[in-house]
A and B are shown apart, each in its own frame.
Chain A
Amino acid sequence: MTLEMLKDELELEIWQQLDLVTDPELDEPITEMGFVELVEVDLDSKVVEVEFRLPTYWCSPNFAFLMAFDIRHEIGRLKWVQGVKVTLNDHCFADRVNEGVNGEKDFNEVFREYCNGEELSAVRNKFLEKAFIRRQETVLLALEERGFSSEKIVEMTLEKLDSIRFDSGEEEKQKPRYRSLLVSRGLAKTASDRAFVTWDGERLTSSGLREYLGKLRGVRINMEFNGALCRGLQSTRYKEVEIGEDGPTLVDFIHNRVPPRRAETHS
Chain B
Amino acid sequence: MFKTKDGKEIFVVDGHTHFWDGSPENQSNVHGKQFIDCFYAYHTNLSPPEQLWEKGRFEKYSEDDVYRDLFVDGPDDVAIIQSTYLRDFYKNGFSSIERSTSMAARHPERFIVNGSFDPRDGEKALEYIHYMKENFDIQGVKMYTAEWNGESKGWALNDPAAYKCFELCDKLGIKNIHVHKGPTIIPLSKDAFDVHDVDHAATDFQNLNWIIEHCGLPRLDDFCWIATQETNVYGGLAVALPFIFSRPRYFGEVIAELLWWVGEDKLLFGSDYAIWTPQWLVEQFWDYQIPEDISAERGGVQLTDEIKEKILGLNAAKLYNIDVEAKKKQLSAAPVQIAAE
Contact = CB atoms under 8 A, between A and B. Distances in A.
Nearest to A66: B188
B221 A60 contact: no
Contacts of B31: 57, 92
A191 B250 CA distance: 37
A233 B41 contact: yes
In the A-B complex, the 4 residue pairs with the closest CB atoms: A57-B34, A248-B52, A115-B189, A232-B45
A230 to B, nearest CB: 9
A123 B190 contact: yes
Given A122-B189, A221-B257, A248 B220 contact: no
B243 to A, nearest CB: 7
Contact of B189 (A116, A239, A242): A116
Contacts of B189: 62, 111, 115-116, 118-120, 122-123
Contact of B191 (A126, A214, A224, A248): A126
B246 interface: yes
Given A58-B38, A229-B218, A233-B45, A243 B186 contact: no
Interface in A73-116: 90, 92-93, 111, 114-116
B192 A92 contact: no
Contact of A248 (B41, B45, B46, B49): B49
Given A218-B221, A241-B52, A111 B42 contact: no
B263 interface: no
B50 interface: yes
Most buried by A among B35, B51, B186: B186
Nearest to A116: B187
Interface string A204-241: 00000000001001110110111011001101111111
B224 interface: yes
A76 B322 CA distance: 63
A56 B38 contact: yes
A250 B54 contact: no
B48 to A, nearest CB: 10
A12 to B, nearest CB: 31
Nearest to B48: A248
A237 B41 contact: yes
B173 interface: no
A218 B45 CA distance: 24
Contact of A222 (B34, B40, B220, B243): B220
Given A58-B182, A118-B187, A228 B54 contact: no
A47 interface: no
Given A60-B183, A222-B220, A222-B221, A111 B45 contact: no
A210 to B, nearest CB: 9
Nearest to B38: A56
Interface of B: 31, 34-35, 37-38, 40-42, 44-46, 49-55, 146, 182-183, 185-193, 217-221, 224, 239-240, 243, 246-247, 250, 253-254, 257, 297
Nearest to A231: B45
A59 interface: yes
Nearest to B42: A233
B55 A225 contact: no
B188 A120 contact: yes
A52 interface: no
B297 A241 contact: no
A29 interface: no
Contacts of A219: 221
A154 to B, nearest CB: 20
Contacts of A123: 188-191
A123 B224 CA distance: 20
A168 interface: no
17 contacts: A57-B31, A57-B34, A57-B37, A62-B191, A62-B192, A92-B34, A114-B186, A116-B189, A118-B189, A217-B297, A221-B257, A229-B218, A232-B246, A233-B45, A241-B44, A247-B50, A250-B52
B252 to A, nearest CB: 10
Contacts of A218: 220-221, 224, 257
B54 A243 contact: yes
Given A92-B34, A233-B38, 20 more contacts: A58-B38, A60-B192, A61-B183, A62-B188, A65-B188, A114-B186, A115-B187, A115-B189, A118-B189, A123-B190, A218-B221, A218-B224, A219-B221, A228-B243, A229-B217, A238-B37, A240-B55, A247-B49, A248-B53, A249-B52
